[in-house]
Structure 1
Amino acid sequence: MLKTLERILRWSTGLMAAMALFTIMWLTLVDVTGRRFFSHSVPGGLELTEMLMVVVIFGAMPLVSWRNEHVVFDSLDSYLPEWVRDIQARVVHLVCAATFGFLGYLMTTRAGRLAEYGDTTVHLQLSIAPVAWMMAVMLALTGLVHLLFVFVSVTVSAPHNPTPSAFDEATP
């Protein structure tokens, strides 16, 4: 079941973030080329890049949390017993789930207001509400990932690190 969930996350949020990043790459190439050789940039290129960056960042969050690839402060872990680390991890995931859930709720209220007021980007007049709704969904999904890890062992989602870093050798 966990492999299926990982596959779904990878092919939905991961693919979405990758496509947005690929689009930013091409948009930047066309924009810079147009500016350099034709003295014209892509109209609204900055607005598009900003919206696509939101898709990259928020789209990748559930997958990053699923793979446990976020920043971790673990300098004391080697001194703690396994059962304490397990409890600590579950508490951290519970706090993260509550935080992301709350942020998702706040973003839904913000997205609702943006839709109600009809806020748009300045140059292209694109609606901002769909981007805010996507942010809310990704925050909630990230919260659900952390909530799942409150009840499921975290070692299932540990990332595979084939190349040790310099810090791995220095750790006692």
Structure 2
Amino acid sequence: MSFGAWLNTHYDEKGPAKWLAFFLELVSSGVLFILMGLTCVDVVGRYVFNSPLHGGTELTEIGLAVMVFAAMPVVTWRGGHIVVDLLDRFLGSVVVKVLALLAALVISSSLYFLALRIFELGERSIGRGVVTEFLGMPSGYVVIYIAVMSWATAAGMITYGVYRILFQDKH
């Protein structure tokens, strides 16, 4: 099976969204694999050699931020979040779609304004030269990455997420 056929089989998205989803999941899974190796090295160093990996906690924190915020746009536009649908069978499908569209609007606008504030904090951190405690890595770039991925999530939700709500049946 060719890579293109595999991608078409495993990804429901259309056009560039398919490639973007694949890329973001590749980043997220790659960082998860690196975190697994980092944790193994830290545990072996800590308990076998009585010398933990210096800066391992900082690298884990940064890796978790990269992993989570790389996956967030994909999970959001696929509607993969936990949803309580207790009233869906009592409400009509039109009401459920209207509520889903309203939720998409609230999620998108909230993420946009939250990302705006996060970006400002990242710029301020870079301007002040804020670095991590042990490794001395500039932390503002990670904060800006979080803001950019939050904007990507907001854009994905208001575009592709709304498309999925309106035109794709979940049954």
**Corresponding letter in the other structure for 2:124:** R
Letter in 2 for 1:132: V
Hey, what's the Cα distance between the residues in 1 that align with 2:170 and 2:20? Answer: 15
For structure 1, list consecutive stretches of 5 or more residues without a partner in the other structure. 161-172
1:135 aligns with: 146
Give the equivalent residue in structure 2 for 1:3.
14
Matched with 1:30 is 41
1:27-49 CA-to-partner distances (Å, cap 9, x unmatched) read: 00011111122111111000000
Residues 1:16 and 2:22 are matched in the alignment:
no
Task: Name the CA shift for 1:29/1:149 in 2 (closer, same or farther; >3 Å).
Answer: same
2:150 paired with 1:124: no
Gaps of 5+ in 2: 1-12
SS at match of 1:40: coil
Deviation at 1:106, TM superposition (A): 0.8
Give the counterpart letter for 2:139 in structure 1: I
Q: Is the 8 A contact 1:9 1:62 kept in 2?
A: no
Match of 1:51 among 58, 62, 67: 62
Kept in 1: contact 2:97–2:166 (CA 8 A): no
Give the Å deviation of 1:6.
Answer: 3.1
Asked whether the 8 Å contact 1:17–1:59 carries over to 2, the reply is yes
* 8 Å CA contact 1:66, 1:157 repeated in 2: no
One-letter amino acid of the counterpart of residue 17, structure 1: S
Q: Distance in 2 between matches of 1:116 and 1:158?
A: 48
Distance in 2, matches of 1:57 and 1:111, equals: 18
SS for the counterpart of 1:131 is helix
Q: Distance in 2 between matches of 1:22 and 1:158?
A: 34
Question: TM-score scaled by structure 2?
Answer: 0.86
Return closer, same or farther for 1:12/1:156 CA change in 2, 3 Å cut-off.
farther
- Using the size of structure 1 for normalisation, the TM-score is 0.85
| Structure 1 CA distance for aligned equivalents of residues 154 and 44 of structure 2 | 41
Q: 2:87 aligns with which of 62, 76, 86?
A: 76
Shift of 1:151: 4.7
- How many residues align? The count is 160
Structure 1 segments, 4+ long, off by >4 Å, are: 155-160
- Correspondence list, 1:82-161, <5 A: 82-149=93-160, 151-154=162-165
